[in-house]
Amino acid sequence: MRPVAAALVVLALAIPAWAGPPGADDIGPSPLEWAPLPEPLARVLEAKSNGYARRALGFSVKESVREARYSNEEARREKVEVYDYLLVREGAGPEGFRAFRTRPGETKEERVDLPFPDALLWTQVFQPGIRSTLRFLVGDWHTTPYKLAIPVSWVTSAPVFGQRRITEWTGTVEVEYRTGNLVRVVARPSLQDERLKTELARYLTAFRLIGIAFAPPPIGVELSVEFDFEHDGFTYPTRAELLTFQLVHEDQRRTVSRQVITYDEYRFFGTEVKDEIPPLTWNAPERLPVPAPQPERRAEPPE
């Protein structure tokens, strides 16, 4: 390989896959490129996010945490805990809030260690301080069971510590047409796909004795949060599920455990807040079609 070509290869490998150039023309990035959130879309979703933040301290809800370990895809050792739940302000907490939980009828705080951001905190994914660290890919409008929504996917290269901050996760949020309300979030820890691929290759090629591999199968997690309760023009979380699994083949996995958190009996207090939020009717700009390459014309030999 020539020295110039070798240098180009090294440079290409050194650039993160999600940090590619966002397109240099006047009509924005290609739909197939990860890029900052388009400004018209960011403006509406940030306004909606601010509305969610103003309501975060104005409600309480009953939270039920159900956890089950699995064996041969059957649930074992199921445990259920019920709490009275509300959010309180905490500057050092993820996204500026933290959950305050008590047993029903009690006032002593109960510390609950859930390895993912609290359900309502996902409404803050479009805040400037968070979205500036992410790269986005906006999909097409489509119909969910009862709503017209647009998927907004994001990637991050932030390291994973406690998995309690949004910036430690990669995923997709479905956003409702016109209202900008969250419909559903699906996420996984940052760089999990890359890690699973590497660890799966090690597992599949590990030495085996009587069919037992000397390397463990990789473990991953998937999180989904549903926003099905609506109040005062905003949707609130009703169900969150964290699935932990073992990956034993590229398209085969075993369930290790499942945490299902449900939220019901919402109670709102305080003064109603009125927000002026532009309607979410954003459409991706159309790109000019790339002309097909023309066959190279060979010079005719002189007669």
Cα–Cα dist 80/98, whole Å: 22
pLDDT per residue as tens digits for the range 37-92: 999 999 999 999 999 999 999 999 999 999 998 887 777 778 999 999 999 988 77
Tell which residue, 220, 235, 229, 251, has the closest CA to residue 173. Answer: 235
Cα–Cα dist 255/245, whole Å: 4
pLDDT per residue as tens digits for the range 196-212: 888 888 777 766 666 66
Burial 83-93 (b: 16+ CB within 10 A, else e): bbbbbeeeeeb
pLDDT per residue as tens digits for the range 95-142: 788 899 999 999 999 988 888 999 999 999 999 999 999 999 999 999
What are the distances in angstroms from CA 93 to CA 138, 163, 165, 236, 280?
A: 29, 13, 9, 20, 30
Indicate the DSSP class of residue 51.
H
- Length, in residues, of the chain: 303
What are the distances in angstroms from CA 136 to CA 30, 36, 118, 170, 229?
A: 11, 6, 22, 10, 27
The letter for the amino acid at 237 is P
What are the distances in angstroms from CA 154 to CA 55, 83, 126, 138, 168?
A: 25, 32, 10, 9, 11
pLDDT per residue as tens digits for the range 245-303: 988 777 778 899 999 999 999 999 876 778 889 999 988 776 555 566 666 655 565 55
Q: Which residue has the tokens 């990035």?
A: 29
Neighbours of 35 (CB within 10 A): 19
Q: In the chain, what are the domains?
A: 30-68+79-268 (2.50.20)
- 289: which residues sit within 8 A by CB, 6+ positions away? none
Cα–Cα dist 45/41, whole Å: 6
